[in-house]
Amino acid sequence: MTLDEELENMIGDNGSKVPGLGVIVFKDGEEVYSKFLGRRHINQDKPLTRDTRFRVASISKMFTIFTIMQLVDQGKINLDADISDYLGFKLRNPNFTDISITVRMLASHTSSLRDGKIYSLPPEFRIKEFFNVNGKFFDNRIHFAHRNEEIGKYFSYCNLNYGILGTIIERATNERFDLYQKKHILKQLNTKADYLVANLNENEFENLGTLYQKNINGVWNENFDWTAQIDNYEIQPANDTVLIQNPYARDTDKIYSFENYEIGTNATIFSPAGGLRISFEELTHCLEMLMNDGNYKGTQIIRNDLLTEMKTPQWIYNEKISNGDPYGVMFNYGLGIYKIDGNSKARLCRDHKIDLIGHSGEAYGMISGLYFIPGTKDGLIFMINGEAIDIDSDKRSQGNFSNNYIWEEIIINSICENIFVK
């Protein structure tokens, strides 16, 4: 089946069908394919296009680490420094009081910190509320790993790590996380991407896409209408406001003013782990930079050796000693990026051994991916903006030949068959 046919068959209203999707593919450094189908906003019947801007989920983590590495290059951050030195308060796992938590541990998810249901706090709180025994969000040590999950060696994917990294960026730059990102890495990559919907200009707000599920208050039914989960705006939010959301505590969803927010106290409000709103076109700028050793359009954005450090596994899964939870697909992790072994159950190409480096995203109906084949300038980006079935319990969401979601398999395997191996 052609790639066009595969993608067109994915659009629909039930089962594993999706409301909208987009794909862009590069071969030998040149864009060779793009396709945009379905709707970015169902109620307003707006089509999904190349310039549609979505909350991209965990691909956002790469952009946080890009800035961390730039600040390493500037001597403002040390990957192996105790994060307490940056945060202004002592942060230790009470089960490992004699071991410092480092920036590298946060970036590689080996910090021994855990999410809990809430990992984004309203702007009036400080992140230390998660970690102090009398803190409002301490929640019986839920944000700390147990003694058998060794700090620095045990991998557990944790969004809170990146909220702390965002706070460290604020402390190192004395600027608000979203504004610093906008003036530096996002501008350098020639994007108008943003973490706050309130910041978008009129044209960019018009291009904002909505994320959907057939899920109402935790009840899934593929015969429901598509239900907006996030970014279902008709009127742009006011300046100096932010929507705080936690995917596993939707009852806490609320818009807050951060007019009096104190820089360097709680960058979780900007969701450095998953809150970047970015378009398909703009994601290709990131992909080009990665495939060109940190260089974008003739400008070195990330020093090549620092980008190599990002791609180098800081943790590798060892089944014999059970040194982490790979979630079926993350059998290694670098700094905000990981490698997919083309022979493993994480593979995305069924009949060909094709390794991939990049990051995936999944939240609120978004499933996204940005990957390239190491040693080449072949790569891809994709986003879909909804699921009609429960991705955690419905077997139809599971891949046919791997541990990935069926949507990821269909898109990337078809790209492999129709473009990469031809």
pLDDT in tens, 316-327: 999 999 999 999
Q: What is the pLDDT averaged over residues 263-280?
A: 97
Residue 22 one-letter amino acid: G
For domain 3-57+194-233+276-420, give its CATH number from 3.20.20.150, 3.40.710.10, 3.30.465.10, 1.20.1050.10. 3.40.710.10
Q: Which helix (H) or strand (E) holds 122?
A: none
Structure tokens at 255: 């818009």
Q: What is the pLDDT averaged over residues 165-180?
A: 98
Confidence of residue 250 (pLDDT cuts 50, 70, 90): confident
Note the pLDDT of residue 245: 87
Note the pLDDT of residue 350: 97
State yes or no: pLDDT of 289 exceeds 90. yes
Note the pLDDT of residue 252: 82
Note the pLDDT of residue 218: 87
State yes or no: pLDDT of 153 exceeds 90. yes
State yes or no: pLDDT of 294 exceeds 90. yes
Note the pLDDT of residue 253: 86
Reported in sequence order, the residue ranges of 194-294 that DSSP labels E, i.e. its strands, are 211-213, 215-216, 219-220, 227-230, 241-244, 254-257, 277-279
State yes or no: pLDDT of 422 exceeds 90. no
Structure tokens at 84: 């307490």
Model confidence pLDDT, tens digit, residues 59-118: 999 999 999 999 999 999 999 999 999 999 999 999 999 999 999 999 999 999 999 899
Q: What is the pLDDT averaged over residues 392-397?
A: 96
Give percent of the chain above pLDDT 70.
Answer: 100
Confidence of residue 249 (pLDDT cuts 50, 70, 90): confident
Note the pLDDT of residue 335: 98
A 10 A CB-CB count for 403 gives 18
Residues 6 or more apart from 111 whose CB is under 8 A from it?
101, 102, 105, 151, 152, 158, 161
Q: What are the domain boundaries of the chain?
A: 3-57+194-233+276-420
DSSP code per residue over 242-268 = EEE--TT-GGG-EEEE-TTPPTTS-GG
Q: 46 — phi, psi (to 5°)? A: -100, 130
State yes or no: pLDDT of 217 exceeds 90. no
Confidence of residue 177 (pLDDT cuts 50, 70, 90): very high
CB–CB of 124/269 below 8 Å? no
State yes or no: pLDDT of 286 exceeds 90. yes
Q: What is the pLDDT averaged over residues 182-200?
A: 97
Model confidence pLDDT, tens digit, residues 193-202: 999 999 999 9
CA angle, 42 then 46 then 47, to 5°: 105
Give percent of the chain above pLDDT 90.
Answer: 93
Note the pLDDT of residue 288: 98
More confident of the two residues 190 and 239: 190
State yes or no: pLDDT of 6 exceeds 90. yes
| Alpha-carbon gap, residue 257 to 335, rounded angstroms | 32
